[in-house]
Structure formats: structure tokens, C-alpha cells
Amino acid sequence: MSAEPTTKSLVCPVDHGGGTAQPTERRAVPATRFSTRTMTSEVLRRGFGREDGMVARLEGHDFARWRIGQRRWVSIQHPDDIDHVLHKHRENYPKSPDYEPLRGVLGLSLFTDDDPSWSRHRKMLNPKFQKRHVDALLPLMVGTVLEFRETLDNLPDGSEVEMVGLMTDLTLEVAGHSLFSQSFRGYFGDDTAELITEGLRKGTWLSRIFFLVDPPRWMSSAVWKVMHSRKIPTPPPFNRFQKVARVIDGAADKVLRERLAHPSDSPDLLNLLLEVADDDGPLTPDRTRAEAISFMLTGYETTANAMCWLWYLLALNPDARQRMLDEIDSVLQGRVVTLEDVPKLQWTTACLEESMRIFPPVWMITREAVEDDVIGGHPVKAGETVAIVIEHVHRDPRFWPDPGRFDPSRFLPGADRDRPRSSYLPFGGGKRICIGRNFALLEAVMLTATLSQNHVFDLVPGHQVEAETTFTLRPRQGIQMIARRRDQ
């Protein structure tokens, strides 16, 4: 995948063809069937393979089915069918066993839980993620980003930086201040980002093993509970994954103990979690810890990836970037970004959303059918796993004209009027849509505007960028960029 800059406004390094948006009217077409041998071989040789493996084969097929071992799969791509699974009949499609590895690290939280526990806790937490609470977190974020910007200011102009590492460190610090009103460094250590990255890769590798073996769900759950255990050691390579869970758990426990011993009136997320209660009582300590860990890991990892892909695509599209810089200069006038400024940064927000269309940080959703059903005229049996490859949906030319083009105008106000609801899924969909989406968008827009006031980031000539499918879609070998000071 070439990352050479260009002056053209059309640059998406993976060209999935052009086309004109079509209405959502459906014609019944046969399901595409892939052989067990082919798909098993792809998983063994290439993993999930977004460009040349199992996942790549699914693109362009509204409904496909296959089997790996004893596990039966279907994939869907049309927004109407996605609506069926995520909205209309969501009770029949809880999260699949593929989320068990994440339970091993995160514990039981909104991200990994299922009904009825999920419904109760979502109702408890929803009020705490209303706009007024999320907005109150902005001051906790801004100071961290300004410190980071000062670090960039102190570098020689034209310094080469590795953007994945920078954004990971930055978003981890922002998450720490938003969640705990303090840095994570004192609790997790300087190698936390590297440890978590390795844990994600190990988790993906382990999930491939379970993907092929397909043990009973109770057995899979038991294995991942052992991974999460602080008392039962595991052999290599499982021990590295277990270390990640233990480090995170231990640090979160320490923070919770300190907050309970020394309460504060900070508007941070931890205080919001400690305030949550319903008729059956507050969150348990285990649940509070699990939710805090989930917000930290899913928030920092996905935002870091979203920011990396944004800088990458902006570097490839200088006209769109210049329009963004002009908007930031006009709105902020050199000031620190405030809540009142964010709604005015429409093109900046559109650039972010377009980058998440092309490179969605969460690239696939899986659900498991509880009872027999019919999706788009195709039978689905109880126990089958339903896969939604978000990247394929986001690049479907029926709903995204010329989908290989970076075009932020798709996300300007009113542009989505005729777009199907489930054609854009960066935060999932239905009642299980990410509870932290407002926080993530606020953080990303603030971060983009703040850093862009002083710098632009260009790709190092000849540097190759490749996307890697772990639990998130991340740059495999990083993104080497040149930080240039702006002349204002």
C-alpha cells in the first residue's frame, strides 16, 4: 500500500472501485457459499486478512455463508440486513463467542456483557453519558493535549515522528485524565501502550485458535476466566496475555482504592461511575473496575487509531487538509478550543468522520443467532455467527459514491439525508451503539484542532503503510511522518 503524497483530492490507498449511490431496493440473490477448506486455509495461513485473507473474500457479497470446523458463519453487508440484526431483532443476536478474549482482559462490562445484565447496566450508565457530563470532561482533556503540543513545539522543525506511538501515548494520557483526573503513568508504567498493543496482538492470535477449534461456549468462557485470574498461572504464549490483564486489573484496583479513601469532586468518569445506582443498588466494585478498564482501553485504543488514520489521509489529501486548517484558524483565532467552538468546526469533524469511514477503528461486529431466523430472504440457523465487516459496508458503492475517494463533504450537515441508517457504523449500531461515542468525537475534534494550530504532518517519502486487523484496525508498522511548523 503506497503512502506517497499526492496533490489530487482522490486518495484512498485501497481502491475498491467507484460507482453511483443506488436506492436500497433489493433483488433476491442467492447466498454466496465458500468452501470449508478455503476459509479454514485462509484463517490458518493469513489470519483474518482484510486484503488477501478470509475477510477479503466477503467483500461485495450481501449474504455469504461458510463453515470452519464445526462453527457455521454468515456475513451480511446490506444496511437493511444490518438493521434487522442490530435494531429490529437485536434480542435474537447477542454478542458472539469472539468477544470472550476481551472479557479476559476487560472483565464483564457494557462492552462485553449481554442481556439481561447489559440492559440493567446500560440504563444505569446512560444518564452519566449525557452531553452535559461529557462536556464537563473537556477541561480535563485540553491541558494534556496542550502539554503534548508544547513537546512538539520543542522539536526541530521537520522532525520525523512515528505517529502511532505519539497518538497512543497522547490518547492514553487523555483517557487517564478524563477517567481519573491524573496520568496513568504512575499506575501503569511507561511501557503500558506497548504492553497493551502486544496484548491485542496475542489476543487476536488466540482468538484464531478458538476460531478453528470452536470449543463449547462454557469451555471458552472458563479458559478466558483463567486468563483473567490473578492466582492461576498459564504457560506461554497465554502468559503474556494474562500479564496484560493482571497489570491492568492491579492498576485499576489501586486507583479505585485511592479514590474511595480520598474522595474528590472532580467531574471525571470514575466519579460518575461511583455515583451510578438504581433500585437494586450501586455498581459493584468489580463492575466499577471493569467499566473503568473498558472505557480506558476501548477509548484510548480506538481514538489513537482514528487519529493516526486521519493524519495519514489528510497528508494524502492536501486540499482537504488546507480547508480544515483554514476553518480551525478562523474559528479559534489562536485560542484554546472551547465547547462553543466544537460545533463550528464542521469540516474538521467531517474529515474525522470520513477517515473513520475509510479506516473504521472497529472493523467487524459479530453476533450469534439464538433462534432460527430469516435475513434478507436467507435462512439463518440458531447458533450461526453473523459477521458484519464494517469496512466493506463503508466502501459499498451503492451507498457511498466513488467510495475510494476521501471526501469529507459526505458528512457535512444534511449530506446523509438519503443514506441508509446502517451504512455507517464506526461506533456500532442499535441499542448497543458505543456509549462513549460523544466523548470520543469531542476528544478527537479537540485533539485535531489543537495540534493543527501549530503543525501539519506529512508522510515520510517512500514510507509504506499497511492496516492490521487485531481487535481494532491499526497501522501494522506505524506511520512515519514529518512534523512541520505552520507559518501563521
Is the distance from CB of 102 to CB of 471 less than 8 angstroms?
Answer: yes
113-170 residue pLDDT tens: 887 889 999 999 999 888 888 898 999 899 999 999 999 999 999 999 999 989 988 9
pLDDT at position 159: 97
Q: Which are the contacts of 157, defined by CB distance < 8 A and separation ≥ 6?
A: 483, 484, 485
**Which residues constitute the domain of residue 168?**
8-15+28-485
Q: How many structural domains compose the chain?
A: 1
Low-confidence ranges of the chain (pLDDT < 70): 1-28, 46-52, 101, 104-105, 185-217, 220, 224, 227-228, 237, 488
In the three-class reduction of DSSP (H, G, I as helix; E, B as strand; rest coil), residue 160 is classed as strand
Question: Quick check: is 433 in a domain?
Answer: yes
Question: Quick check: is 177 in a domain?
Answer: yes
Is the distance from CB of 1 to CB of 466 less than 8 angstroms?
Answer: yes
**Burial of 481 (C-beta count, 10 Å sphere; 0-12/13-18/19+):** buried
Helix (H) / strand (E) containing 226: helix 217-228
Question: Quick check: is 296 in a domain?
Answer: yes
257-316 residue pLDDT tens: 888 888 888 889 999 999 999 999 999 988 998 898 888 877 788 999 999 999 999 999
Chain-centroid distance of CA 200 in Å reads: 13
Residue 434 assigned to a binding site: yes
**What's the CA gap between 308 and 477, in Å, rounded?**
12
Question: Quick check: is 277 in a domain?
Answer: yes
Residue labelled with grid coordinates 434478507 = 376
Question: Quick check: is 3 in a domain?
Answer: no
Question: Quick check: is 353 in a domain?
Answer: yes
CATH number at residue 311: 1.10.630.10
* pTM score above 0.85: yes
**What's the CA gap between 397 and 330, in Å, rounded?**
34
Question: Quick check: is 23 in a domain?
Answer: no
What are 129's three cell numbers?
A: 453519558
